[in-house]
Amino acid sequence: MRIIPAIDIIGGKCVRLTKGDYNTEKVYSTNPVEVAKNYEANGIKYLHLVDLDGAKSSNIVNHKILHDIATQTTLKIDFGGGIKTDDDARIAFENGATQITGGSIAVENPELFQSWIEKYGSDKIILGADSLRRKIATHGWLQQSEVDVIEFINQYQERGISYVICTDISKDGMLQGPSLNLYSEILYNNKVKLIASGGVSCIQDVYDLAEIGCEGTIIGKAIYENRISMKELKKFMATYA
């Protein structure tokens, strides 16, 4: 299972939110590039970079930070937040994204999202399936749909999607453990490469997610607040490499 630290960007700074609430913003660093370099120096190979400004707006905002991290590290970056048009997708890839994540667009404009799968390939496009009480949420989690998360993933698996990031919003930033039951249900019903996000609080959570078959896990606040050390992650990666 891949370890994928998260860097969420607002106003050029590394922040974390609680349950996606922008009013809970907490700044952890004013230099995202240095944070990314530190991950790389500790053996991390992947990064989940989220443009929270873009998620609230109608387009990508923080593509310069994506470019700077991509050109100053060798990290493989999946980038999301504000990717709503063909232009946004192009900008993300041109600025160094290895993969892009579409959530809101996959709900509101499935034809466009489908065209990206066909144009760039299923290894480049990640479905963002973020849910609250099992219903898909969009626009930086500010809006909630009536679409069931399992059905949503099923539909896109049939359309050729391979990678899915699923966040249980009620767990995000809470440091109370991930939604193992939800992820187990998703994996039972689908053959996607599931990347778990939200709630990871300690290294045992990481082992538990690997045990149920997740392809990757995104870790944010637990690293920033020293609930999980780089030493622990190195040991995990040595075991599960």
Among candidate residues 78, 88, 130, 172, the one labeled active-site is 130
Provide DSSP, the chain. -EEEEEEEEETTEEEEEETTEEEEEEEEES-HHHHHHHHHHTT--EEEEEEHHHHHSSS---HHHHHHHHHH---EEEEESS--SHHHHHHHHHTT-SEEEESHHHHH-HHHHHHHHHHH-TTTEEEEEEEETTEEEETTTTEEEEEEHHHHHHHHHHTT--EEEEEETTTTTT-S---HHHHHHHHHH--SEEEEES---SHHHHHHHHHHT-SEEEE-HHHHTTSS-HHHHHHHHHHH-
Asked about 88 being catalytic, the answer comes back as: no
Active site residues: 8, 130
